[in-house]
Structure 1
């Protein structure tokens, strides 16, 4: 009888231990599944947030190269109208025209010298001038776009000028800005280069 009771007791204990072990495993599996589901949900949420951010940060598309450069320059309060720097204050139109011509000739000479010093073929450049007149200081920033035979831009130089009270430009610094060049920049610049020259009135 004792033997039978021992065998029954051993069987009951074995069964209990097996059941407990299975229960623990099930609990651990359930916890693991819950953790995995939570992690997956978090990843999905993060992905959605990233997609929303990407949509917000989507680049603005410009129709013309001038619009693109205007947007870049206006962040630093530079404008493409030479009148911004107020060198055309004379009443007589012909005096204004002469001052403007003299001023632009001087800046062009400085830019050409800078490009020559940097071993850049001046015939493969196009210059876009921008002007600032803020807080009593006048300055100019010229974007010199260097391009290849295929009319695709390779780099951009920013040539910065200080302008004296007597409207004399002097070189401040020249720096290369390759970061400006992206696919949109290349496409719009090429279109600008190929567009027919506007007739002066």
Structure 2
């Protein structure tokens, strides 16, 4: 099996989900008497909260280089928002960073989805590192909440979900946003924050959901098992 480097910590709650899923998915192929080789670097989430773009990029590069030097054959960033460093980090290391947008696109293409609603942090929704890659590499359009809802969509994630607080009020808010996105033409909803699938399950809505944590972990498990 290939050694996978994991960059987690943003938040540790979702990093646990990645670790669990990777072990379960690989275990389905090789049996539960074995487990995959994983190398985890859990950084301090305070780094992301400071919004210092240069420091964030350089910190992720330093961590990626450490994982590469330690023998990792690929890297997975265990959250959506930190993928904003992808274009900076990937050219400077010699192993692939498995991009979460490619995992989303793979499932969307299987379902023939062409237009997706996107919920996540403000940088994820308004930045191009996810929606731009979906558009330019995979020809998939994304829709985000209207301006009046953007701040609250972000606030709940940053102040509640990433700190392990999951409430019915938060669930109701996101379910309402999903319905609004569907009315604007979204065929499915990207749960573009790795804490969102911990709050909202498929049984909560009839709208198809794309669980980025699970899809990303499936991509990583395939890499671990690849000859």
TM-score range, shorter chain: under 0.3
TM-score norm. by structure 2 comes to: 0.23
TM-score norm. by structure 1 comes to: 0.25
Q: Name which structure has the greater RCO, CA cutoff 8 Å, separation 6+.
A: 2
Higher strand share: 1
